[in-house]
């Protein structure tokens, strides 16, 4: 797939970018390796200065960075601004906390003294998706640069200008050449880069299919990897939930980023006693969304990221209804220019059908009725995915008990799954492994080195 900026609202391609040649990739890897030898010796204060300046630039030029997101992948402009701010927050978070997170840990052995030290491992390779073009970069780049590693990134082919904007950001922030490198690569070129002995670790955010392929390639080379893959988050509504506020969060959880989010609320699991009321209110709220130019503040329904994404979602809905699911809202494309999907709700979903098993990446809500709390938990866990989830109830302790029984990497009570710099992010099962963000995210690609000093005359 070529690197090209195609506006999903207009369908117009404004710019294309060639892949880097083999010679250019080799030169870039050599430069990154040379940079690592210097960067790993810098102090936390020196690294922090670079990230702090980058965060300041993002905040001072939010509109410039946000506009690129909206033009390349169609995110509502207000959400694009929010993403820029979140990315700046992540850079600041690690600039301020990395030294404490990686401080030597003193142990208490029976003999002598022992310390666990955290050392950078080298050049890292990240493969990042289009749906949050800066946020995904920030949460990979910030902790690893602060740890003393250097990073190379293959960004999604549909957001090349966002990719280049981050290169310019770090150059302006004073990062040395080779500390942050963007590469326009084919999948085959990426495989070859993973094989390169100078690459010491690989991080992927993307589809289950992409993660499986990259994890296999990294494993063949005995290289550490992290995988943040797909999700089909459950949004559980118990009988005592505050209904009106729960509906607000249901709309936000499903429709944020036009539903193109790995931790979007996708499966709405509602106990029978409040199912009819929830469905009626949810349907009414989704019906009010207004499609239009994502650069306009009045627009509340943006386009999907591409025509191909829209066609794939339409096909999933078609296959689901053919398998017995019933549409109670939407189900088709919006009759206007752009890759717009109607806000949609599917009910009557049976086990073994597309709507039960697959991740729906767009504005399609999957609605399930259950008898009680136990059935809700059983259904929530009956998924190959295990990324996030949420439970809505007036009883917080009950919500925490339900959360403890849900098999995912993250569960929120009375809020859809979301992200913040200080909260670890990641999943289990086919949603991947490893964690990003928080104190956990900076530990993934460091050597936890034991240094043990024992008196020479100590007994064996």
Q: Is 55 exposed, middle or buried (0-12, 13-18, 19+ CB in 10 A)?
A: buried
State the average pLDDT for the chain: 98
Q: Where are the domains of the chain?
A: 3-229+427-451, 234-413
Beta strand 326-329 pairing with 344-347: antiparallel
Whether the pTM exceeds 0.95: the reply is yes
CATH superfamily of 3-229+427-451: Aldehyde Dehydrogenase; Chain A, domain 1 (3.40.605.10)
Cβ pair 448, 114 in contact under 8 A = no
In the predicted model, is pLDDT for residue 75 greater than 90? yes
Task: Report pLDDT for 458.
Answer: 87
* 16 is a catalytic site residue: no
Residues 415-419, mean pLDDT to the nearest whole number: 97
What's the sign of the alpha-carbon dihedral 137, 138, 139, 142? positive
Integer Cα distance of 411 and 424 in angstroms: 11
Instruction: Report the alpha-carbon distance of residue 232 to residue 356 in Å, rounded.
Output: 9
The model's pLDDT over 189-213, given as tens digits with 9 standing for 90+, comes to 999 999 999 999 999 999 999 999 9
Q: Of residues 35, 162, 262, 305, which has the active-site annotation?
A: 262
* Opening angle at CA 155, ends 149 and 157, nearest 5: 165
What's the mean pLDDT in 66-77?
98
pLDDT at 1: 72
What kind of architecture, by CATH, is found in domain 234-413?
Answer: 3-Layer(aba) Sandwich (3.40)
Tell which residue, 190, 203, 196, has the closest CA to residue 138.
203
The active-site residue out of 33, 128, 228, 444 is 228
**Residue 13 is among the residues annotated as catalytic for this protein:** no
Beta-bridge mates of residue 413: 391
Asked whether the domain spanning 234-413 has the same topology as the one spanning 3-229+427-451, the reply is: no
- Residue 459 is predicted with a pLDDT of 85
The 10s digit of each residue's pLDDT in 359-373 is 999 999 999 999 999
Task: With beta carbons less than 8 A apart as the criterion, state whether 228 and 132 touch.
Answer: no
> What sign does the dihedral 126-130-134-138 (CA atoms) show?
negative
Condensed to tens digits (0 to 9), the pLDDT of residues 308-351 reads: 999 999 999 999 999 999 999 999 999 999 999 999 999 999 99
Give the separation between CA 241 and CA 117, rounded to whole angstroms.
47
Q: How far apart are CA 1 and CA 187, in angstroms?
A: 9
Instruction: Categorize the per-residue pLDDT at 421 as very low, low, confident or very high, splitting at 50, 70 and 90.
Output: very high
Q: Mind listing the pLDDT tens digit for each residue in 80-111?
A: 999 999 999 999 999 999 999 999 999 999 99
Q: Report which of 413, 372, 398, 377 is spatially closest to residue 273, judged by C-alpha positions.
A: 372
């Amino acid at each position: 797939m070529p690197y090209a900026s195609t506006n999903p609202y207009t369908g117009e391609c404004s710019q294309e970018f060639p892949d880097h040649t083999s010679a250019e990739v080799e030169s870039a890897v050599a430069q990154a390796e040379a940079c690592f030898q210097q960067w790993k010796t810098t102090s936390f204060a020196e690294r922090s200065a670079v990230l702090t300046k980058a965060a300041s630039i993002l905040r001072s030029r939010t509109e410039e960075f946000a506009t690129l997101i909206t033009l390349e992948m169609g995110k509502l402009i207000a959400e694009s601004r929010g993403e820029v701010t979140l990315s700046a927050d992540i850079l600041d978070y690690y600039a301020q906390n990395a030294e404490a997170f990686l401080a030597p840990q003193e142990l208490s052995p029976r003999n002598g003294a022992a310390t666990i030290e955290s050392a950078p491992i080298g050049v890292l390779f990240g493969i990042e998706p289009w749906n949050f073009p800066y946020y995904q970069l920030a949460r990979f780049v910030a902790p690893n640069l602060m740890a003393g590693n250097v990073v190379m990134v293959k960004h999604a082919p549909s957001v090349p200008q966002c990719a280049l904007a981050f290169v310019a950001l770090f150059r302006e922030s004073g990062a040395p050449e080779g500390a942050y490198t963007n590469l326009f690569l084919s999948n085959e070129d990426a495989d070859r880069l993973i094989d390169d002995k100078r690459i010491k670790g690989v991080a992927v955010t993307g589809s289950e299919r992409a993660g499986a392929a990259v994890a296999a390639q990294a494993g063949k080379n005995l290289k550490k990897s992290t995988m943040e893959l797909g999700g089909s988050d459950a949004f559980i509504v118990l009988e005592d939930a505050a209904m009106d506020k729960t509906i607000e969060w249901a709309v936000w959880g499903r429709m944020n980023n036009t539903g193109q989010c790995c931790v979007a609320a996708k499966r709405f699991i509602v106990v029978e006693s409040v199912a009819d009321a929830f469905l009626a209110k949810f349907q009414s709220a989704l019906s009010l969304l207004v499609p239009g130019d994502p650069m306009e503040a009045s627009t509340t329904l943006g386009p999907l990221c591409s025509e191909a994404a829209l066609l794939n979602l339409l096909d999933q809905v078609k296959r689901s209804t053919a398998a017995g699911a019933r549409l109670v809202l939407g189900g088709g494309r919006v009759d206007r220019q752009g890759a717009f999907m109607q806000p949609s709700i599917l009910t009557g979903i049976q086990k073994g059908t597309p709507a039960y098993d697959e991740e729906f990446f767009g504005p399609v809500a999957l609605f399930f009725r259950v008898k009680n709390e136990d059935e809700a938990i059983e259904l929530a866990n009956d998924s190959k995915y295990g990324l996030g989830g949420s439970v809505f109830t007036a009883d917080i302790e009950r919500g925490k008990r339900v959360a403890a029984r849900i098999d995912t990497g993250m569960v929120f009570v009375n809020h859809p799954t979301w992200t913040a710099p200080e909260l670890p992010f990641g999943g289990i099962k086919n949603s991947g492994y490893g964690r990003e963000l928080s104190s956990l995210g900076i530990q993934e690609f460091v050597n936890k080195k034991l240094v043990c000093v024992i008196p020479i005359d100590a007994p064996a």
